[in-house]
Amino acid sequence: MTKMTMVQALNLAMQQEMAKDDRVLLQGEDVGVDGGVFRVTDKLLEQFGEERVLDTPLAESGIVGTAIGMAIYGLRPVCEIQFSGFSYYILHQLEAHAARMRHRSQGRYEVPLVVRMPYGGGVRALEHHSESREAYFAHTPGVKMVIPSGPRNARALLVSAIRDPNPVIFFEPKALYRAFREEVPEEEESIPLGQPQLVRKGKDVTLIAYGAMMTPTLEAAEELLAKDGVEAEVIDLLTISPLDDALIMASVQKTGRAVVVHEAPKSFGPGAEIIARLMEKAFYYLEAPIQRVTGYDIIYPLFALESAYMPNTGRIVQAVRETLKT
């Protein structure tokens, strides 16, 4: 095992999948010679050549639209959108075609497409470079929405996403690209899509988060134990949609309390669905209202104020204390 950043781990996933499956190819803006603006595809052009690592013209719909054609032909294109703030350009191709081709052709064609993109805030970026709009894709039937939270699961999930026969939107928490390293095994490792993970056991309250928010969420769990003696159970969604809520139900039926955390704007955000599921399946176990710690329903501010926008350990701890009041 070597310690890797998420950038290196993602690179490893693509490198290995490309090495063993010549159907896999990459395309996007600056993914080749430049190795991606975050270097996630670094050196892959040298290894696999221009035929399999395509530096495309500057057109997101073109990138995904052509990738849909490639996927129908039988390839497994992995596209990069440079920032999720520019992913809205692809929604029509994704919703109208990638998500529907299997259904429209009644099973004749599938679109094993992965669209990777960095998302989220906290990196002192320019406008459009800090948003989290996973809810758009999570609400799109036919698409899978995946978000890793560390180098190791990023690698293992990307491998599964590349092998998945359905279109997968793969959000990469850019704040974590180089935030910390983890042991990542050289040998192949994958995590099945669609399975949230229990990352910390506890009995008093369930914290549900994903992506970059796992960091403050786990910190909050620590702080709650240290300062309040509260044992928080923590769940990492990993796959936002289709959402398998079994683990969440089991946990909340045990703890009776929950807090959901995400960077995305609060209203009509992913947290709402989790709460709705809990309402449907765990209502009688709830001892207090479930709290949301999220971004706000506003234009994401430039970085002088982003720390005021982003959920942080303090806000999460605070919310947990609220739920524990009753």
Partner 1 sequence: MPRKKIELPYSAEYLSILDENGVVDKELEPQLSEELLLKLHRAMLAGRRFDERMLNLQRQGRIGTFPPIKGQEASQLGAVAVLEPSDWMVPAFRETLAEIWRGKAMENFILYYGGYDEGSMVEKGRNDLPVSIPVGSQMLHAVGIGMAIKYRKQPQVAMTFFGDGATSEGDFHEALNFAGVYQAPVVFVCQNNQWAISIPREKQTHAKTLAQKALAHGLPGIQVDGNDVLAVYAAAQEAVERARFGGGPTLIECYTYRLSLHTTADDPTKYREAEEVAQWEKKDPIIRFQTYLQNKGLLTPEALEGMEEEIAKEIQDVVEQSEQRMTGGEPLDMFQHTYDELPPSLRQQKEEVRSNLALAQKEVDHD
Ligand X SMILES: Cc1ncc(C[n+]2csc(CCOP(=O)(O)OP(=O)(O)O)c2C)c(N)n1
Angle, CA of 137, 139 and 144, to the nearest 5°: 55
List phi, psi (to 5°) of 149: -130, 0
Report in angstroms how near the CB of residue 82 gets to ligand X at its nearest: 4
Q: Which two tokens stand for residue 126?
A: 């320019």
- Which residues in 216-245 contact its own copies (CB under 8 A)? 241-243
Q: Which of 10, 17, 29, 259 binds ligand X (CB under 6 A)?
A: 29
303 near its own copies, rule: CB under 8 A: no
Interaction with its own copies in 95-114: which residues (CB under 8 A)?
Answer: 95-96, 99-100, 103-104
Q: Which does 311 bind (CB under 5 to 8 A by kind): ligand X, partner 1, its own copies, none?
A: none
> Does 313 help bind partner 1 (rule: CB under 8 A)?
no
For the bound state, the minimum distance from the C-beta of residue 30 to ligand X, rounded and expressed in Å, comes to 7
Site for ligand X in 163-222 (CB under 6 A): none
Which listed residue (176, 212, 292, 293) binds its own copies by CB under 8 A? Answer: 292
Measured from each CB, the residue nearest to ligand X is 86
Our answer to whether residue 262 is catalytic in this structure is no
Residues 121/92, Cβ–Cβ less than 8 Å: no
Helix H or strand E encompassing 149: none
Cα–Cα distance for residue pair 80/249, rounded to 1 Å: 34
Determine if residue 270 is left, alpha or beta; phi over 0 gives left, psi from -120 to 50 gives alpha, anything else beta.
alpha
Interface with partner 1 (CB under 8 A), residue total 82
Which residues in the 139-168 window bind its own copies by CB under 8 A?
139, 141-142
Q: Where are the alpha helices (DSSP H) in the chain?
A: 6-20, 44-48, 60-73, 91-93, 101-104, 134-138, 151-163, 214-223, 246-255, 270-282, 306-309, 313-325
3-state helix, strand, coil in the chain (%, to 5): 40, 20, 40
Which pairing describes strands 182-184 and 197-200: parallel, antiparallel, or unpaired?
A: unpaired
Q: Does 273 bind its own copies (CB under 8 A)?
A: yes
165 binds partner 1 (CB under 8 A): yes
Query: Is 304 near its own copies (CB under 8 A)?
Result: no
Rule CB under 8 A: say whether 288 interacts with its own copies: yes
Report d(CA 42, CA 34) in Å as an integer: 7
Per-residue contact track with partner 1, 26 to 65, x per CB under 8 A? ---xx-xxxx-x-------------xx-xxxxxx-xx--x
Check binding of 297 to partner 1 (CB under 8 A): yes
Query: Site size for its own copies, by CB under 8 A?
Result: 51
Residue corresponding to tokens 């709830």: 286
- Contact indicator for 137, 93 with CB cutoff of 8 Å: no
Contact 295, 264 (CB under 8 A): yes
Task: Look up residue 46 and give its two tokens.
Answer: 């040298």
Residues within window 237-276 making contact with partner 1, judged by CB under 8 A? 242-246, 266-267
From 309, 310, 316, 320, residue interacting with partner 1 (rule: CB under 8 A): 309
For the bound state, the minimum distance from the C-beta of residue 134 to ligand X, rounded and expressed in Å, comes to 19
Report the partner that residue 246 touches, choosing among ligand X, partner 1, its own copies, none (CB closer than 5 to 8 A by kind): partner 1
Site for ligand X in 49-108 (CB under 6 A): 58, 60, 82, 86, 89
Query: How far apart are the C-alpha atoms of 94 and 67, rounded to whole Å?
Result: 11
CA–CA dist 199, 196 (Å, integer): 9
Residues 90-129 that bind partner 1 (CB under 8 A): 92-93, 96-97, 99, 101-110, 124-129
- Of 92, 97, 129, 139, catalytic: 129
Single residue of 28, 36, 118, 271 touching its own copies by CB under 8 A:
271
Q: Which residues are known to be catalytic?
A: 129
